[in-house]
Amino acid sequence: MGPEQAPTHAVVLELKAERLVVQDAYDFLDEKRLLLAAELLQQLNRYERLLMELEEKTRAAQQQLGAAVKRHGLQGLGVYPAASLDGARIESTRRNLMGVTLVETALELGESAANPAISPSNPSSEASRCREAFQELMRLSTVLAGISGNLHRLFTEYRLTERRARALENVILPDIETALGRMGAYLEEIEIEDAIRARLHARAGQSQ
């Protein structure tokens, strides 16, 4: 029922019922945005911690790469047998938070990643550590990719929920309250006028 309806007791009752519905919707959206904000902060904190870890491991991998180049030279390292990614897969688990899908991702490289199909002619611990360091970067990047997607979906849903909650709080509910106030004042004036008219009519009847 719109606030522009003619002021009657029936319209007032309908507006009050509408106000209860809108208030319930606002309470739900308010709780939803709090839950989304809490999850958003938790995911962001985890992302920042893992990003710092990724940066540290990136520096470590660069050092391992330098050690491998020093041991084999660029050409020697270029022909060093690469680890196979056959059997590698991304494992993911999903959960739902207030309509937002949250995903946990992890990279499983498999046994072939640790045991190249072709044995190196000049194996070294430097090359092995270099391979392991970059594999670790792949694992961390996979986890970060999942969290990054979560942050994007959470932030999008939070902004939408925030806009809806503010519309109810700052527009719809105040409009209903204004309409109820205006109609209540009008109906009160009508009741006073009716009471005065009835009293005057009664006095006129008594005087006859």
Q: Is residue 204's pLDDT more than 70?
A: no
**4 found inside a domain:** no
pLDDT band at 15 (very low <50, low <70, confident <90, very high): confident
Q: Which two tokens stand for residue 5?
A: 């309806």
pLDDT in tens, 37-93: 999 999 999 999 999 999 999 999 999 999 999 999 988 888 888 777 777 888 999
**Section 101-108 average pLDDT:** 94
In order, the DSSP letters of 4-58 are: TS---HHHHHHHHHHHHHHHHHHHHHHHHHHHHHHHHHHHHHHHHHHHHHHHHHH
Of 205 and 22, which is predicted with more confidence?
22
Identify which of 55, 36, 48, 118 has the alpha carbon closest to the alpha carbon of residue 84: 118
Average confidence (pLDDT) over 178-192: 81
Domain count along the chain: 1
In a domain, 3, yes or no: no
The answer to whether 138 and 107 are in contact (CB under 8 A) is yes
Per the structure, the complete domain to which residue 161 belongs is given by 9-203
Is residue 69 a part of any domain in this protein? yes
In a domain, 1, yes or no: no
Residue listed under structure tokens 């986890």 = 143
Residue 2 lies in a domain: no
Is beta strand 100-108 parallel, antiparallel or unpaired with respect to 89-97? antiparallel
Rounded CA separation 73/124 (Å): 12
> Where residue 35 sits, what CATH number does that domain have?
1.10.287.3240
Pick from 46-55, 179-188, 197-206: least confident: 197-206
Instruction: Give the pLDDT confidence score for residue 50 in this predicted structure.
Output: 96
Tell me, yes or no, whether 56 lies in a domain. yes
> Packing angle between helix 125-167 and helix 9-78, nearest 10 degrees?
170
1 has a pLDDT exceeding 60? no
User: Tell me, what's the pLDDT at 183?
Assistant: 86
Mean pLDDT over 109-124 rounds to: 73
The model carries a pTM of 0.78
Mean pLDDT of the chain: 87
Q: For residue 74, tell me if it sits in a domain.
A: yes
**CA–CA dist 8, 186 (Å, integer):** 9
Give the C-alpha separation, 143 to 193, whole Å: 73
Encode pLDDT of 117-141 as tens digits.
677 788 889 988 998 899 999 999 9
Pick the range with the lowest mean pLDDT from 153-157, 165-169, 181-185, 187-191.
187-191
The answer to whether the beta carbons of residues 29 and 161 sit under 8 Å apart is: yes
pLDDT beyond 80 at 111: no
Asked if residue 156 belongs to a domain, the reply is yes
Band the pLDDT of 3: cuts 50, 70, 90: very low
DSSP assignment of 60-106 = HHHHHHHHHHHHHHHHHHHTSPPPP-TT-EEEEEEEEETTEEEEEEE
Contacts 24+ apart (CB under 8 A), 177-180: 177/19, 178/3, 179/3, 179/4, 179/5, 179/15, 180/12, 180/15, 180/16, 180/19
